[in-house]
Amino acid sequence: MPPIQLRREHVEAMISHAREAAPKECCGLIGGSSDSRALTLYRLRNVTPHPESAYEAAPEDLFAAQRQMRERGESLLAIYHSHPRSSDPQPSDTDVRLAYYPSAKYLIIGLGGSEAIIRAFSISEREQRWQQVEYEITDE
Burial 53-71 (b: 16+ CB within 10 A, else e): ebbbbeeebbeebeeebee
User: Annotated catalytic, 115?
Assistant: no
- 25, 56, 115, 140: which is the annotated catalytic residue? 25
* φ/ψ bin of 60: left (φ > 0), alpha (ψ from -120 to 50), beta (otherwise): alpha
DSSP three-state, residue 66: helix
CA distance 112 to 109: 9
Catalytic site positions: 25
